[in-house]
Every structure is written in C-alpha cells, then in structure tokens.
C-alpha cells in the first residue's frame, strides 16, 4: 500500500515537473488537438509573457483547472511569444511561476496566418481564450481577459 502511494507520488512528481516544459507546436498539431472528437472540454488560453493582462489572468486558469479537476476539463496555455524567446523568456517564466498546466508555444513565423484558423472572430489581440467541447459541438472564442468569476461563468456556460 505504501509502495503504491509512493508510486503514485512519483507519477505526480513526474507529471508536475514535466508540466513545466514548454512545447513548441506547429499549428497543425494544435489543430488536431482543437478538433479532436472527445468529451473533454478544452479551455485554451492564448497569451504572451510580455502581455500584462494575459499574465494577470493566468492564475485564474490555474484555479479553474484546480477547482474542476473532477470534470473532464483540460486547461491549456498557448504562448504567442516569438519562437526565439522560448528558452530566454517563456520557459523561465513558466518555471518561476510553477505553472501546473500544459504550456505550448505556437511555433509559426507567420502567426497572423493561423489566427483565422483558430477562430474567425479573433482579431489577433491578446489575450484570447477558446472553449471547446467537440462532442457537444460547443465552440466559443473570447477576445478579452477574465476575472476568475467571469472565467468560471464562461466555462460553466459550455456545460449547459
């Protein structure tokens, strides 16, 4: 039993320490993720380390994942920082703040070309958040920042 607890502890440890890595992704990979048919609700936040309102609302996304950990909910962060800033800005930022979420960096030189593909209503202003549940055909993009209450409302309205 103790050994089992230890094993679980180790798994958690591995998951947590891995979670701090920032994975560069091409749009294609993100597209597969966004369009995967699953009953998991994805809350995907587009942000950047230099974007003050983005940084301010990040704890709300961490909190959402924490509060609804029993739900089929996955909160992802997608950094729109330049690829050249991955090691110098984004990874140190994520590490320093101990962000327990999966963090990606959109590795596209021409970021503008993928904005419409992520959501046509998005002008490209940061921050932006996409909430999707493909099993429920639910998809909503928010070009705005959130307080925790507002984010919670946005998430809960995807479940109605």
Partner 1 sequence: MKKLALIALLALFSVSAFAQGYKVGDKAIDFKLKNVNGKTVSLADYKSAKGFIVVFTCNHCPYAKAYESRIMDLDKVYSAKGYPVIAINPNDPTTYPEDSFDNMKKRSSEKKYTFPYLVDDTQAITKAYGATKTPHVFVLEKTLNGNIVEYIGAIDNDTEGGDANKIKYVENAVNALLMNKKPETTMTKAVGCGIKWKSI
Among 4, 69, 110, 137, binds partner 1 (CB under 8 A): 110
CA 152 – CA 68 distance, rounded (Å): 10
Distance between terminal CA atoms of the chain? 40
> Is-contact 113 119, C-beta < 8 A?
no
Q: Considering the complex, state which of residue 91 and residue 145 has its C-beta at the smaller distance from partner 1.
A: 145
Place of tokens 């946005």: 154
By CB under 8 A, residue 149 contacts partner 1: no
* Piece in contact with partner 1 (CB under 8 A), picked from 2-10, 11-19, 76-84, 131-139: 76-84
> Is-contact 103 77, C-beta < 8 A?
yes
* Piece in contact with partner 1 (CB under 8 A), picked from 8-16, 36-44, 119-127, 129-137: 119-127
By CB under 8 A, residue 6 contacts partner 1: no
Candidates 75, 103, 109, 107; CA nearest to 90 is: 103
Residues binding partner 1 (CB under 8 A)? 48, 50-53, 80, 82, 84, 109-113, 115-116, 122-127, 143-145
């Amino acid at each position: 039993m103790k050994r089992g607890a230890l094993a679980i502890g180790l798994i958690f440890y591995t998951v947590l320490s891995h979670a701090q890595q920032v994975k560069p992704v091409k749009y294609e990979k993100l597209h597969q993720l966004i369009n995967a048919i699953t009953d998991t609700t994805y809350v995907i936040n587009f942000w950047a380390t230099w974007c003050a309102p983005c940084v301010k609302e990040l704890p709300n996304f961490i909190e959402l994942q924490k509060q609804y950990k029993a739900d089929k909910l996955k909160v992802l962060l997608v950094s729109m920082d330049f690829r050249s800033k991955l090691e110098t800005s984004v990874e140190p930022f994520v590490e320093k703040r101990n962000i327990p979420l999966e963090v990606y960096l959109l590795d596209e030189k021409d970021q503008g070309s993928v904005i419409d593909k992520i959501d046509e209503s998005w002008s490209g202003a940061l921050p932006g958040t996409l909430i999707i549940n493909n099993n429920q055909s639910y998809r909503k993009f928010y070009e705005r920042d959130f307080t925790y209450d507002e984010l919670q409302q946005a998430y809960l309205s995807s479940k109605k």
